Structure 1
Amino acid sequence: MTRGAWTQGARLEAAAMRVETRLHRKGVLETRRFAARTEARAIVVATLAFGVGLAGGAVGYWGRAVPVWEGASVAAGGIAVAASITLAAASVSYRLAARDPRQAWLMGGTRARRAWMTSAVAISLAAVFGMLQWMLFDMASLIWPGAAVDTLTATMIVALVAGASGYTAFAVAAHVTATRLVVLLFAVVATGFAVSAATTRDDDWYRLNFSELGGQGGVTAAVFNATLLIAGGVTALLALYLLTSLARWARTEPRVTRARELIVYVVFLMLAGCFIGAAVVPVTTSQVGHNVFAIGMAVVFGALLLGLRWVLPCLPWAMIALGVAVAIGIVFSAILFWLSYYTLATHEMVCAGLVVGWLLLFTRTLAATERADAAAADVDAGSCVLETDSSEPLV
């Protein structure tokens, strides 16, 4: 082949690299613009939510002393606006998130899948915000029992709760990641179980296990079982985000095969199914059936931890070793329970802490790997452009 042919091919390659680099720069600019627009929209949403809370509080509390906790109280208004405004703001924000170049993959898939993803994010955030308000106002009622405030004070409290909920929900839902989903999962379970424990009439439930809260009936069981259902939805969404993250990693890591991606995806779907099954079959309905889902959750996750070396051998050795250590910690905690040193509730809390900690580090490791691969690709692209743009002849 002649010298000119080689030169022409190199020039075409250089032109292609220039186009790719410009597209990348355009994507960066679009990402920055999306972040700025999100912040501006969040402020607008907070302002509108504040106005809605102000109007609702003025109508609901007009001309009377408003109790902090009992009946048509400040707590009732705060919980209602926190949950409803969070639901609306998060739904809108997550639908707009697909315009972010970093989240363009959200445009793929069917409308049905997009709808349930939006529902999972919005409902879980609304549940967390609503239960946080319940906990805050409950503590206020314990500090100031029987307290009441005037119309203006009650209205301003509800309006501030509405504004803060709208802003935070819009900002959080605008950029959902696997790590944030793990935090959201923990927040759902922690707040739901806390409210269930606070509303139960059985003061000795902790001597047994958390599942006892789901079989007591009334508000306690409703909150507990709803928490498990929402946790199942968040875990299923986490499975989809992990599948997407592993698919991106597979572009630069040949050991991340499609089969290994699907193994991780199926494991987290099974965990989601266990959450939902434990809610649908409470201990009062079938102790055996409930235990199948509860124990199945531990077995499935433990198998993932112990098999991590073969499922994802490309992970850093520290992450794989940590998975084994967490599995050993879960087994050690189970032994302490079998020896009657721990109650089952204590064992469940220890396991939950270990699992959430590992999940946070696992998702952060995946995110760091993606960023490193993207940076390396950008450096390679830039060096290729510089080489082909040089004045030396290309042969």
Structure 2
Amino acid sequence: MAYLRWAPAIWQLSQRRFMAAATLVGACGVVSFVIGYTHRIRMLNEHVMWAIHLRRSFEIFALSFVYAVTLFLTSYTLFWVLNSMMGKVIFEMYLPALTATFAGVCGYLTFVQAELMNAKTLASLLPFFVIAGVGTACSTTNDPHWFRNNFSELGDRTTFAASMFNITLVFGGLSIIIITYFAISELIATYQVVRPNGSVGIRTPQVSYHIPRFKVRITLLSILLTLSGIAFIGIGTFRYTPHPILHNVFARGMPCVMFALLITLPWLAPQLSRAFFVISDIAILVCVIAGISWLQGENTLTNVEALAAMLFLGWFIGFSRQIAAIEADRIQQQLIAHEVVNTAKLDDLISDEESAGFNTVLTDTNSPVLAAQADTDQHRRQVASQLARN
């Protein structure tokens, strides 16, 4: 409301009002996320080394950036859609209330996701702001025939729609690089896991845990994933008209990087499931068929580029889900290794409770089962805290 009252006239245009409202929504979401994520990792623990503090600070900064961009683009798109439906005069009356509503909802969602943060949750944000940014650019462009040549023509101008498209690509590339950092960190952490009986193992039983040339594989995987993000950044940074050579380098280099990544994935990351390898091969096959149809004049380059981009984003989400599953198995193995639950003792206590008869008082602290559960929960919290500090 203060912005609508005191902002200069040039900043009272509809698009700039939506930008200001979306910025407020993003800021509220980021503050909520930082509070939740800091509570999750217990960053203020005095026993944690300064190097871990530094790494956690980088994680908070990187994740906050991803959430800020996602919330900004998504809320801006929603404001634009609602304004088109309600009309400018009526929508202006509801803009403060809608901003507060979006900020509250986003603050709650980001706090919950901060408590449950993993690579899967982070990668799930990618389609939201990519679709929101590109969709807004397509809807607000003043060139109704932008799709005649290729997808990059949408950003080959200096208009608001073109800027929105290019910024979306840049932020999407940065998000891919950030998610790559978390995914690679988890693969390295999983490689160091030792089972309670002293043997080593990974999630996929068909692959032995000792991976030959592990450092080489993980380095090449990191490079290919990072290059895919850099390609998105280059396409959005260098428009075709002033920089045709640089634009083509990134635009044509991106499918080459994606092809190399998908075709070598079974060797680069044998920890992943075989079903995911099949999905990667299918994605390559679909892109090849679409490319052949374009060369034969039966399809447009815009459709091929859009299909390839969406397939890659979908593949990236699936890749992150695989990483999240590996992370869950690693945490479970660590909990078992620390003997968080003594199943034999707990079975004996349950038998004693059943022999004593059914107890209708659910909060009976004299119950041996509840006492064992309380001890187990306390031990689990201590172990989880220690794992978080490590």
Taking the TM superposition and a 5 Å limit, the aligned residue runs for 1:178-197 are 178-197=119-138
1:88 alignment counterpart: 31
8 Å Cα contact 2:147/2:154 also seen in 1: no
User: What's the CA shift for 1:100?
Assistant: 7.8
Q: What residue identity is the alignment partner of 1:356?
A: L
User: What's the CA shift for 1:107?
Assistant: 7.5
Which structure is higher in helix share? Answer: 1
Unaligned runs of 5+ in 1: 1-56, 63-68, 388-395
TM-score normalised by length of structure 2: 0.71
In structure 2, which of residues 162, 167, 171 is the aligned counterpart of residue 221 of structure 1?
162
1:207-253: CA deviations, max 9, x gaps?
Answer: 22221122211212222222122112211111111111111221232
Aligned residues: 322
- Percent identical: 23
User: What's the CA shift for 1:72?
Assistant: 9.6
Taking the TM superposition and a 5 Å limit, the aligned residue runs for 1:155-234 are 155-234=96-175
User: What's the CA shift for 1:306?
Assistant: 0.7
C-alpha separation in 1, matches of 2:312 and 2:15: 40
Question: Does 1:344 find its partner at 2:337?
Answer: no
8 Å Cα contact 2:154/2:165 also seen in 1: yes
User: What's the CA shift for 1:373?
Assistant: 4.6
1:26 alignment counterpart: none
Q: CA RMSD in A?
A: 3.5
8 Å Cα contact 2:82/2:91 also seen in 1: no
8 Å Cα contact 1:120/1:233 also seen in 2: no
1:334-353: CA deviations, max 9, x gaps?
Answer: 11222222212211221123
C-alpha separation in 1, matches of 2:340 and 2:50: 32
In structure 1, which of residues 294, 299, 306 is the aligned counterpart of residue 251 of structure 2?
294
C-alpha separation in 2, matches of 1:299 and 1:318: 23
Question: Does 1:365 find its partner at 2:360?
Answer: no
User: What's the CA shift for 1:193?
Assistant: 1.0
Unaligned runs of 5+ in 2: 6-11, 193-200, 202-208, 345-390
Change (3 A) 1:158 1:326: closer
User: What's the CA shift for 1:378?
Assistant: 4.7
SS in 1 for 2:254: helix
User: What's the CA shift for 1:385?
Assistant: 7.8
SS in 1 for 2:286: helix
2:358 alignment counterpart: none
2:211 alignment counterpart: 255
In structure 2, which of residues 272, 276, 285 is the aligned counterpart of residue 315 of structure 1?
272
SS in 1 for 2:147: helix
1:70-107: CA deviations, max 9, x gaps?
Answer: 64997466324213323433344444543289xx9998
SS in 2 for 1:138: helix
Question: Does 1:135 find its partner at 2:77?
Answer: yes
Q: What residue identity is the alignment partner of 2:312?
A: V
2:62 alignment counterpart: 120
SS in 1 for 2:245: helix
C-alpha separation in 1, matches of 2:229 and 2:60: 17
8 Å Cα contact 2:149/2:301 also seen in 1: yes
Question: Does 1:281 find its partner at 2:222?
Answer: no
User: What's the CA shift for 1:129?
Assistant: 2.0
In structure 2, which of residues 229, 247, 258 is the aligned counterpart of residue 272 of structure 1?
229
C-alpha separation in 1, matches of 2:317 and 2:49: 22
TM-score normalised by length of structure 1: 0.70
C-alpha separation in 1, matches of 2:188 and 2:33: 26
Which is further off, 350-359 or 167-176?
167-176
